[in-house]
Copies of this chain bind each other. A is one copy, B any other.
Amino acid sequence: MSWKIQSKNIDFEKLLIEESLFFNGNGYIGIRGNLEEGLPEHVETIRGTYINGYHDIVNIPYGEKLFGFPETQQKLVNIMDTQGIEIWVGSDQEKEKVSLYTGEVLSYNRILHMDKGLTERILHWRSRQGHELIIKFTRLVSFHIQELFYQFVTLTPISNPIPVQIVSTMNGDVKNYANRNDPRVASDDKKHIKINQLLQCEDYSFIELETCRSGLRSAALSTMKLSNPYAKYRYEMKKSAIVSTVDFQLSAETFLDKRTFIAESTRYEELRKELVAIKKESASLNYHEIAIQQKSYMNSFWNDTDVIIQGDEQIQEAIRFNLYHLLQSAGQDGKTSIAAKGLSGEGYEGHYFWDTEIYLLPMFTLTNPALARKLLLYRYTILNSARERAKEMGHKKGALYPWRTITGKECSSYFPAGTAQYHISADIAYSYVYYFLATNDMEFLKEAGAEVLLETARLWIEVGHFKEDQFRIDTVTGPDEYTAIVNNNYYTNVMAKYNLQWAYDISLKLQIEEPIFWKRLKEKLSFTEGELESFKQAAERMYLPYDENRQINPQDDTFLQKEIWDFEGTPAEHYPLLLHYHPLTIYRYQVCKQADTVLAHFLVEDEASEAVIKNSYEYYEKITTHDSSLSSCVFSMMGARVGYVEKAYNYFIETARLDLDNIQGNTKDGLHMANLGGTWLAIVAGFAGLRLKKNGICLRPQLPKAWKGYKFPLQYQGRSLFVHHNQDHFTIELLTGEPVTISIWNKNYPVTKDKPISLPSASNGGINV
């Protein structure tokens, strides 16, 4: 089955997209899939290297700056470019540069090896003078040696011995990408880094940068070695680059081993010293050993994560692609999270959004809980910022998480679709609850979860109010960014209710099971019994809008009174609407950018009846444009939930290949992480219908017609489970751990190591229970 993503493309426009598709990363470093040899001048490229969380600070400009608008924002910084490897062939007088656009390309292929955790480019090339050779660029960003970006070049001569010159560059003169007219990427193109140091030592080149305003340092240390012992090396120090050149005669297969070690000053102190040590340590490992390490890491990852689709190679490829890039982007150090574009590009300036909690954490929580815990921990590290932001927004207590951030400070300059999305605090609380349900990890609850739950619950008491026996939340924006600043957004209210309820439940639990800890926590937070009671009251009396007439949950108090958007009168090229209509115009109509109430019904399904969930799905489906990449996967999952398996399948197809096929047209700015996670959700929570509840795992498996079957592993409270659904059977095996009971279509089935659950599949795609 497919472990490779391949491309023979040399078209400029598509190459720009491939820079994202073929990026290499390990959650710490991300390097876009640029061509080592570069591109002709004036061809658009985003040549980028990023460190998760490594940012500069920039002023946010406002025409009219009002109180509480953030003064500055953080911005992921493109650091030194160490990708450069040029290969020149021929004698001095007639040297030609090997590239896709010079000489003769006899064959070209680019491969992402998802099983091996690396990428390759293989070029069979002939110069105008007739020198013919095959070049293979292999590169990986190591999961074992977090700082290592490894380039390994194999040169195979086809013609007679060829004079070859290889020029390897480390360039400190880089900028971020900017486009003033696209709100989804940065608008200014100022320089954010300056060079502190360029240094050429006997066996390495070193460059240290510093961000202009945040004062964070980053460094890269590079070594280059050719397998040919007669090669001649030469180093040149330029104003902002170090150029290493090696000349040799290519007469047999030859290898260039280029290793770049990258680090920054928030997680490393003495950058050069530490990088030298790491270099030294890894010097004992040759290319093959490092590749084997990488493969072994990937094996373990795939073992816990791989989703298998039987009967659809294209989708199989896409799912693995998605999971692979999620892994490459996920911060593993408890200090970082997953940016909206991961480490694959600069879109949304490297900020972390709610995407991680709602779209990505379920996958990590149920396949790699240790990593999920790290991602959750990040939110705990910024809890103080969230507390400060709540105060700034006029609340006496509680934590208001920023809509977009790196360090914890709000970076959103357009508050109606930013700060107004108060739901993010409930989303974060939700992800802590989800993790707790999946792991029963009391230690983490005590370390971080309880505090986050209480502080977010406090926010709802602050922002909402009781009116005529209802608890109401005014003037917020829900997930749907085509409707802003409304009262009683169903999603926000239902998630706030969940947050309050769980804060209450967990408090009781801790009170009983961990009285000493609970006492300490209460003191630390000056938390009162009265507050606890208010959580209960607010949760119980939470107002959830309901429309008697249509028997649906309205998105907010006034949503259904608005006119429905004129979809017929909207030409196809006017999508996404946000790029063609003023937000005020969009807000005026019943039109959704993305799932909102439908997402709420996914996350908290027990608050609405089956009929209301289904009616709502049908209602909102008609008015949702899916202009956000966070939408289709929800409509897929919930399509399956309300019985439209084939519709669910169609949404799933859009979801699954969104970046591979550049469906939203902006994959060049980076991969849509939330959507990558949404694919996993669409299978596991969609077709298999998984929900995590207090009473355990609940499934509602269904098999789309196009597939022969699907399989996936799960981690649940210390157990390894394996789920397999094909046209004959639906089975769950318990691979390790204690027996457990699982609810399937509302009936409970025990599973033990000896006795898997096995139920016959039904002809309609479901199963016979």
Q: Which of A436-481 contact B (CB under 8 A)?
A: 463, 465, 467, 472, 474-475
Q: Are B63 and A582 in contact (CB under 8 A)?
A: no
Residue of chain B at shortest CB distance from A180: B65
**Contact between A394 and B67, CB atoms less than 8 A apart:** no
Interface membership of A558, Cβ < 8 A: yes
User: Residue A201 at the B interface, CB < 8 A?
Assistant: no
User: Given A582-B394, A582-B415, A588-B474 in contact, is the A562-B487 Cβ separation under 8 Å?
Assistant: yes
Q: Is the CB of A581 within 8 A of B467?
A: no
A582 to B69, CA, bound (A): 7
Are the CB atoms of B63 and A420 closer together than 8 Å? no
Scoring A residues 721 to 732 as 1 if CB is less than 8 Å from chain B, else 0, what string do you get?
Answer: 000000000000
Task: Please determine whether A581 and B67 come into contact, CB atoms closer than 8 angstroms.
Answer: yes
Closest chain-B Cβ to A428's Cβ sits at a distance in Å of: 19
For A187, the chain B residues whose CB sits under 8 A away are 62-65
Give the interface SS of chain A, mostly helix, strand, loop or mixed: loop
A582 touches B62 (CB 8 A): no
Partner of A558 from B557, B578, B585, B588 at Cβ < 8 Å = B557
What per-residue 1/0 map shows which CB atoms of A401-436 lie under 8 Å from chain B? 000000000001111101110000000000000000
Docked complex Cα distance between A420 and B584 (Å): 7
Cα–Cα, bound, A587→B579 (Å): 27
A619 smallest CB distance to B (angstroms): 16
A41 interfacial by beta-carbon distance below 8 Å: no
Q: Chain B CB within 10 Å — which of A63, A412, A420, A579 has the most?
A: A63
Determine whether the beta carbon of B62 is less than 8 Å from that of A465. Answer: no
Q: In chain A between 527 and 573, which residues have their CB closer than 8 angstroms to a CB of chain B?
A: 557-558, 561-563
Residues of B within 8 A of A558 (CB): 474, 487, 557-558
1/0 per residue A680-694: CB within 8 Å of B?
Answer: 000000000000000
Known A-B contacts A582-B419, A584-B485; the reply to A561 vs B474 at CB < 8 A is: yes
A696 at the binding interface (Cβ < 8 Å): no
Query: How near does chain B come to A66, taking the closest CB pair, in angstroms?
Result: 5
A585 touches B62 (CB 8 A): no
- Asked if A580 is an interface residue, CB under 8 A from chain B, the answer is yes
B65 and A563 form a contact (CB under 8 A): no
Interface assignment of A40: CB less than 8 Å from any CB of chain B: no
Q: Which of B69, B474, B588 contacts A562 (CB 8 A)?
A: B474
Which residues of A135-169 are within 8 A (CB) of B?
none
A422's closest neighbor in chain B, by CB? B584
- Whether the Cβ atoms of B475 and A183 lie closer than 8 Å is no
Which of chain B's residues have a CB closer than 8 A to the CB of A61?
61-63
Set of chain B residues within 8 Å of A63, measured between Cβ atoms: 60-62, 73, 187, 412-414
Q: What is the minimal beta-carbon distance from A493 to any residue of chain B, in angstroms?
A: 13
Tell me the smallest distance from the CB of A594 to a CB of chain B, in Å: 16
A60 surroundings in chain B (CB, below 8 A): 63
Tell me which of B65, B419, B485 contacts A485 (CB under 8 A): B485
Known A393-B582, A394-B582; judge A588-B66 contact (CB<8 A): no
Chain B residues, CB < 8 A from A588: 463, 474-475
CB distance from A397 to the nearest CB of B (A): 14
Minimum CB–CB distance for A219 against chain B, Å: 30
Give which listed residue, B484, B561, B578, contacts A67 with CB less than 8 A. B578
Checking B64, B180, B393, B415 against A183 with a beta-carbon cut-off of 8 angstroms, the contacting residue is: B64
Type the 1/0 row for A179-196, where 1 means its CB is closer than 8 Å to any CB of B: 011010001000000000
Expressed in whole angstroms, the minimum distance between the Cβ of A544 and any Cβ of chain B is 15
Alpha-carbon separation in the docked complex, A66 to B416 (Å) = 12
A738: chain B residues within 8 A (beta carbon)? none
Cross-chain pairs A/B with CB under 8 angstroms, 28 sampled: A62-B187, A62-B414, A63-B73, A63-B414, A64-B413, A64-B418, A65-B183, A66-B414, A66-B578, A66-B583, A67-B581, A67-B582, A68-B584, A392-B582, A393-B585, A415-B582, A415-B583, A415-B584, A416-B416, A419-B582, A465-B563, A467-B563, A474-B561, A474-B588, A475-B587, A487-B558, A487-B562, A558-B558
Binding site for B on A (CB under 8 A): 60-69, 73, 180-181, 183, 187, 392-394, 412-416, 418-420, 463, 465, 467, 472, 474-475, 484-485, 487, 557-558, 561-563, 578-585, 587-588
